[in-house]
Amino acid sequence: MPQSAVGQTLCEGMGAVEKAGWQFAHCGAEAQAMGFNSINIDTMFWSVSLGLLFIWVFRKAAKMATADVPSGLQNFVEWVCEFIDTSVRGSFTGKNDLVAPMALTIFIWVFLMNFMDLIPVDWLPALAGWVGHTFFGADPHHVFFKVVPSTDPNATFGMSFAVFGLMLFYSIKMKGVGGFTAELTMHPFSSKNPILQYLIFVPINFVLEFVSLLAKPLSLSLRLYGNMYAGEMIFILIALLFGMASSGTIGGWLGAGAGGLMQLGWAIFHILIITLQAFIFMTLAIVYMDMAHQVDEAH
């Protein structure tokens, strides 16, 4: 993580963060002191790795594509592409060759990031602790490892801001600066009286439309983050029940058994959640792009 200013925080068992330049935070206080310039290495690693996995699998399927009997991978990729194509045709009425690839990337990438939540919460952190202890001499009991990028609001906000930026770009490109401005100031209230329109209705319309505009990336990011973070917390709470077995009592073993059933049930239900959240994120992105291409709405 980058540290651009001299931090004044003190971590337990550590010294104060006093050096400028690139360095790793050793506790939450140091990470907070880094502020906006901090980068979550775990989120970046898993999001980029999953994105490369998506590209590699689909590229492999494209290179293996044949008009003869298709392989299982080709069938799967074709099914996904047909599903995305149907979704775009149903929600996007304009003409833009970018929308379908964008929708495909969003759906698969978000799904893969969400899918990491189905991996038991202690497997990858335990592996990271072993690697850190073996190769870097770190304490394996104090290794923090976030493996679900969509539970990091920085990742969800980054994706939503990218969609929001495309929406603004195409809104201005398709409607022009004047048309986009009119869309923010001339609706929903209007009057033929110019004094009433420009002195009263234009400010009111701008406030209403501007709030509605800003709500799009906020709702897009917080919906995904909130659902995935809550799902991860439920997995962690269920996993705590397994610790009851260490007591050696009948109640402890019953609690661990109940935790196993609950974890299986929640994992099955969570498959629906991670898919649904990826679909919602993709669908809203398509709808926002469609709104950006609706020229008649600006006049």
Residues annotated as catalytic (active site), given as ranges:
219, 223, 227
Cβ atoms of 257 and 241 closer than 8 Å: no
256-to-51, 120, 169, 235, 248 alpha-carbon distances in Å = 36, 15, 53, 14, 11
Closest CA to 107 of 286, 282, 273: 282
Degrees (nearest 5) of the Cα angle 151, 273, 254? 90
Side chain identity at 64, as an amino acid letter? M
Strand locations in the chain (E)? 2-3, 21-22
- Give dist(CA 299, CA 283) in Å, integer: 26
Number of C-alpha atoms within 13 angstroms, CB side, residue 185? 13
**Is residue 81 packed enough to be buried (19+ CB in 10 Å), middle (13-18) or exposed (0-12)?**
middle
Q: Could you say which DSSP state residue 98 is in?
A: T
**Helix, strand, coil percentages in the chain from 3-state DSSP, rounded to 5:** 75, 0, 20
